[in-house]
Structure 1
């Protein structure tokens, strides 16, 4: 039986530039024929990972690391174990696993590895220290990847290939990864995150600013610097769908860790705020509405509730209007595509969500507890 946990958030941000495009302007998109503010899914996923780490929602051993500096991490790890000059041996072990370094000793692309995988590589080099004694070819930049791999004993090659199993890292399990040279180590994401879009039409605004030279002479009038920055203010609809069965499978059947991952994602997704231009705008605005629904048939993104943009009114906030539109669209869509077993829980600060449309909670911690309990009851997770 499929079981999806969906997250539907309405979040109003004050003037800000949370996610910039290549020109420095806030990202946007045309939806329903109207320009909307947008924050990319990648931006929010990174904010979720940062929030989970900062709040220690997941143990360090169950986290992932995105980096090109794998060699540096392993050198530091082995140095802490008393192993000096480990780099040549590490390079052989990495080549045995299919990972090649460039001329700057960085991996060819960003790797998304579980901390457990990184620790396992360090342990492999440590336990096979003598077997990985480097021949002269390891410092020859012209040697091929195949030749470097051949420098490792067969036993090390077999072990190295088995290390890339996701490391039971919650964020790797949630968001997945692709390793171009090693498709067998790819991991399909258990969680899909949509680009956040504004529920209403948005226009860009410009802030012309000046800065004064504190040490300017008396005859130096005017600003020491001038410039401009683009920004907007918008009420966003945010959406994510989490496949509980896939999460459990990605975490190698570890039910306790899957439960912890559910709780951590619920908390971190609600609290996640992108860091872009925050020193300029300080747009630390939490969601006004968080709705979580357990779906049994298939996920349902409710963004089309805002295909016709919400229109500002003097007597109602955009957040309340957006929540009401979301509830109306859910009734329509759920009646056609939903399942009788689907169940909602909501944390609603607007008062616009119908009382008969799910269970109301007063705190984010209660919502997290509800998600864990309901998923456990339905899936045994």
Structure 2
């Protein structure tokens, strides 16, 4: 190991110290950076005068240092005088006598993911708790200082003296992210979050018991329309979109059409309705509720204004002009958004769009949302209530109105998957915009409540548990943890979820990079704990690490 007085060791110590005082976003980006580096790394290159020929080596060193720096660090925890193996074994507490190494398996996996190409030297860690013939020990030599990981904040998963079983694969290094999975638990009391056609709470039979359910459509609507500091429409570059059967009447023909003869407007409107909603577009009841982006509305508006100008106030000429426009342009939604970054607006880019009248205009959803359901059997009651007449005379007895409604309580499990390459593609390749969308989406999932009857039930709550997973394997829900209903208690629900997740890890070893926010004191397999802000920042940094097809 180089001493701090040597150039390599001194530089590594300086970078470690800078990481300790860097903001969490810089640390997160440094942990995930690929060949393109990160803002923090390039600042280090400039500060320390790293030669171009050494940039790749120092990028790997910087990433390793970032992986070994705890999220809670406020000063450098690197000890240049100690060997890496010893630090991994005792977590930085030299006098400790631990039964197991302090470094967690997931953190070690992330460290190994930063290893160099084949042919690097073996790790020189004779005091490490595994033997030299372990597959885990075949790693690059560490060129700089070691990291002291506080033993009290780590969970051990590797037994001292363990020899790797050649018939069993070790946990894989953290993969490049393709999917972001979001799991949440949210409690609600005496509410009616989502109703069916009879006005009752929506339900789901699962595991032999009825559960209270909130539909994915309900969740998505509240998230996309939220009036919130993290609302999607507050993101710079987030084009608006409108979901309606009356887009032509209410958005295309706006204030500008006042004063134009009704017959002229009618002739042009009929053609535009056919272009947007299909052959039966003139009949409102036959139209599909359609999502149009701002750029598509602007296209139609300009076309309508041009046709009005060409008609010279003559309704017959307006009809001919409109017919020629439809014939010549062969208008379709695909053409309307041609060349636009967000043809269906931000909402279309996230949640997709299906156009039965023009399949070419379909947009595949990048955000997939499951129906939320209670982790326990349904808890519901019928609420009988009245409305009294404040101006009733003494002889007027009884209630003015008698009604009945259903109220439910429950702890809901929800699940969201984001296809990261699809999101970036739907956003026109804009990774910055994708990062801001993910950052805000995490806040919306955790903080925005679905629900009706706001005035009488105040159905406002926040997630008591939020788990983020980034990986490259096919996503999988954790709903199976609740097939057998658990008690309506967050601690027991988190325990069931944690046990199921650990079983999946033991069977599949998919090595997702995890972050968890929880109101109960329970560790999860491979998950680093953090605040909602830290989880949102983690999600927001993922698009920069997503490999896109050539």
- Which bin holds the TM-score, normalised by the shorter protein? 0.7 to 0.9
Residue-pair matches, total? 365
The counterpart of 2:271, out of the listed 69, 92, 117, is: 92
Q: CA deviation at 1:283?
A: 1.7
Q: CA deviation at 1:156?
A: 3.3
Alignment of 1:370 with 2:370, yes or no, is no
Q: Give distance in 2, aligned partners of 1:157 and 1:91.
A: 15
Q: CA deviation at 1:291?
A: 0.8
Q: TM-score, normalised by structure 2?
A: 0.60
Greater relative contact order structure (CA < 8 Å, 6+ sep): 1
Contact 2:194–2:201 (CA<8 Å) still a contact in 1? yes
Q: CA deviation at 1:368?
A: 1.3
Alignment of 1:260 with 2:436, yes or no, is yes
Q: Give distance in 2, aligned partners of 1:378 and 1:52.
A: 30
The 1:336–1:116 alpha-carbon spacing in structure 2 relative to 1, beyond 3 Å, is farther
Q: Give a deviation string over 1:35-75, Cα, whole Å, max 9, x none.
A: 11111111101111111677543348523211111122111
The counterpart of 2:243, out of the listed 66, 71, 76, is: 66
Instruction: Tell me the equivalent position of 2:417.
Output: 241
Q: CA deviation at 1:135?
A: 5.8
Q: CA deviation at 1:168?
A: 5.2
Contact 2:191–2:451 (CA<8 Å) still a contact in 1? no
Q: Give distance in 2, aligned partners of 1:348 and 1:198.
A: 18
The counterpart of 1:190, out of the listed 339, 348, 366, is: 366
Query: Structure 2 stretches of 5 or more lacking a match?
Result: 1-175
Q: CA deviation at 1:19?
A: 0.4
Instruction: Tell me the equivalent position of 2:290.
Output: 111
Q: CA deviation at 1:3?
A: 0.6
Q: CA deviation at 1:224?
A: 1.7
Instruction: Tell me the equivalent position of 2:185.
Output: 10
Q: TM-score, normalised by structure 1?
A: 0.85
Q: CA deviation at 1:203?
A: 3.6
Residues 288-303 of structure 1 aligned to structure 2 (within 5 Å): 288-303=464-479
Q: CA deviation at 1:119?
A: 1.9
Instruction: Tell me the equivalent position of 2:335.
Output: 162
What SS does structure 2 have at the residue aligned with 1:267?
helix
Moved more, 301-310 or 320-329: 320-329
Instruction: Tell me the equivalent position of 1:278.
Output: 454
Q: CA deviation at 1:89?
A: 3.0
Q: Give a deviation string over 1:11-50, Cα, whole Å, max 9, x none.
A: 1101111101111111111101111111111110111111
Q: Give distance in 2, aligned partners of 1:137 and 1:271.
A: 55
Contact 1:35–1:203 (CA<8 Å) still a contact in 2? no
Alignment of 1:361 with 2:508, yes or no, is no
Q: Give distance in 2, aligned partners of 1:173 and 1:69.
A: 21
The counterpart of 1:348, out of the listed 518, 525, 535, is: 518
Q: Give distance in 2, aligned partners of 1:97 and 1:277.
A: 35
Q: CA deviation at 1:338?
A: 4.7
Contact 1:96–1:156 (CA<8 Å) still a contact in 2? no
Q: CA deviation at 1:129?
A: 4.8
Query: Structure 1 stretches of 5 or more lacking a match?
Result: 140-146, 313-317
The 1:90–1:161 alpha-carbon spacing in structure 2 relative to 1, beyond 3 Å, is farther
Q: Give a deviation string over 1:57-106, Cα, whole Å, max 9, x none.
A: 334852321111112211116449x9786554344345345645655667
What SS does structure 2 have at the residue aligned with 1:276?
coil
